[in-house]
Amino acid sequence: MPFLELSLPCTEARQPRYERALEDVGALAVTLADAHADAPDEQAIFEPGVGEQPLWGELILTALFPEDTDGLVLLAALEAFDEELDWTQARFRKVEDQDWERAWMDQYVPLRFGARTWIVPWNSELPEEAKADDAAIVRLDPGLAFGSGTHPTTALCLQWLDELASTNALQGQRVLDFGCGSGILALAALKLGAARAVGVDNDPQALIATHDNAERNDVADRLDVHLPQDEPTAMYPVVVANILASALIALADTLTARVAPGGVLAMSGILAGQEDEVIARYAGAFDDLRAERLEDWMRVTGVRRHG
């Protein structure tokens, strides 16, 4: 059936208030996109962080309502819900129903990270290079996991896992993916030779997505998922956390306690310029802390000190 679509620009700071208002007045769905993206297929989406909602600074917020919704009545209800928000830039249009997930997937292509790691949409044929015997192939539904090009933070972590695998540092190991989102990093680690993986996320829907993706990739028997409060206390030789810098700093004690002595940690979701503060927070427990950059984003890696 058709829908009434409302769209308006907003900032990262005010996005939660706009979204609460839209949901309160009956929005069927609310989605976010980068206001400066050149085209819909360039709208990369973060892996959701633990305790954080990674967003762009300026957004286009879109909400769907039943077709017979009166736009003027809807605006009045929104203004009454939160008078401080600016609803004057809201725009309406009628949109036809369709299989949005399939439509989005048609825009995505297989992507390679490092020497062996491939992220391949379900509807895509494998490229010839991905048919190599040692290729690590993760099949994902990209609707909520990534755009036409995986976000640089995720790419940095995938490249790191691929590099670990090239030195056999992943073989037979247990891996913690802290802030797992779709499970893309945990799945890649398993495909690259890890024995088991644990995914942790504060969003129950992320845990469902991770488990579903693990089943589709035939690794569900080797992956466990937990909310942060339910996560069993354990140490891991390999830990990856693709969340925001503020969360990495706040969770430094937690993440440090998860890395076994001599184990390795990779952190991303760090904007260029924030890496020094993250490094300083982890310097007391980690050696060989290094920062690598991709576009405007950084990855910090280190080795857990013994003792």
Q: What is the CATH number of the domain that holds 291?
A: 3.40.50.150
∠ Cα 55 207 139 (to 5°): 85
Q: How far apart are CA 20 and CA 78, in angstroms?
A: 10
Q: Are residues 158 and 69 in the same domain?
A: no
Q: What is the pLDDT of residue 102?
A: 52
154 assigned ligand-binding residue: yes
User: Model-level pTM?
Assistant: 0.70
Give me the number of domains the chain comprises.
2
**pLDDT reported for residue 55:** 43
Task: Examine the domain organization and report whether 81 and 190 are in the same domain.
Answer: no
Mean pLDDT computed over 94-103:
60
154 and 91 assigned to the same domain? no
Of the candidates 62, 97, 132, which is a domain's last residue? 97
One-letter amino acid of 49 = G
83 with 187, same domain: the answer is no
| pLDDT in the model for residue 41 | 37
In a domain, 124, yes or no: no
- Which of 97, 131, 165 terminates a domain? The answer is 97
State residue 142's pLDDT score.
Answer: 52
Q: Is the pLDDT of residue 133 over 60?
A: yes
- 154 and 299 belong to one structural domain: yes
Give 161-220 pLDDT, tens digit per residue.
999 999 999 999 999 999 988 899 999 999 999 999 999 998 787 888 889 889 989 999
Indicate whether 86 and 206 sit together in one domain.
Answer: no
156 and 88 assigned to the same domain: no
- Residue 115 placed within a domain: no
Domain assignment present for residue 102? The answer is no
Residue 297 sits in the same domain as residue 174: yes
Name which residue leads in pLDDT, 285 or 271.
285
* 132 in any annotated domain: no
Q: Looking at the domain assignment, is residue 174 inside a domain?
A: yes
Residue 140 lies in a domain: no
Helices (H), 217-251: 245-250
Same domain, 154 and 282: yes
pLDDT at 30 over 90: no
Contact 61, 10 (CB under 8 A): yes
Residues 283 and 180 in one domain: yes
244 shares a domain with 173? yes
Do 288 and 180 have their domain in common? Answer: yes
- State in Å, rounded, how far the first CA of the chain is from the last one: 62
276 is in an annotated binding site: no
Burial (CB < 10 A; 0-12, 13-18, 19+), residue 227, is middle
Confidence (pLDDT) at 218: 95
For CA atoms 260, 284, 247, 193, give the dihedral sign. negative
Name the domain boundary from 64, 81, 97.
Answer: 97
Q: Rounded to 5 degrees, what are φ and ψ at 248?
A: -60, -40
Cα separation, 301 vs 291, in Å, equals 7
Map tokens 């391949």 to a residue: 120
Q: Tokens 């048609």 — which residue? A: 106
Q: What percent of the chain has pLDDT over 70?
A: 84
Q: Is 217 annotated as a binding residue?
A: no
CA dist list (Å): 45 to 37, 87, 145: 12, 25, 7
Q: What is the CATH number of the domain that holds 13?
A: 3.30.70
142's tokens: 């990209």
Is 9:60 a contact under the CB 8 Å cutoff?
Answer: yes
Q: Could you tell me the residue range of the domain that residue 272 belongs to?
A: 150-304
Strands of the sheet containing 58-66, edge to edge, are: 29-34, 58-66, 3-11, 91-95
Give the separation between CA 281 and CA 19, rounded to whole angstroms: 33
Structure tokens given for 49: 């962080």
230 among annotated binding-site residues: no
Within 8 A by CB and 6+ apart from 91, the residues are 6, 7, 8
Number of C-beta neighbours around residue 233 at 10 A: 6
Structure tokens at 160: 């790191």
Mean of pLDDT over the chain: 84
Alpha-carbon gap, residue 92 to 117, rounded angstroms: 42
In a domain, 177, yes or no: yes
Residue 239 lies in a domain: yes
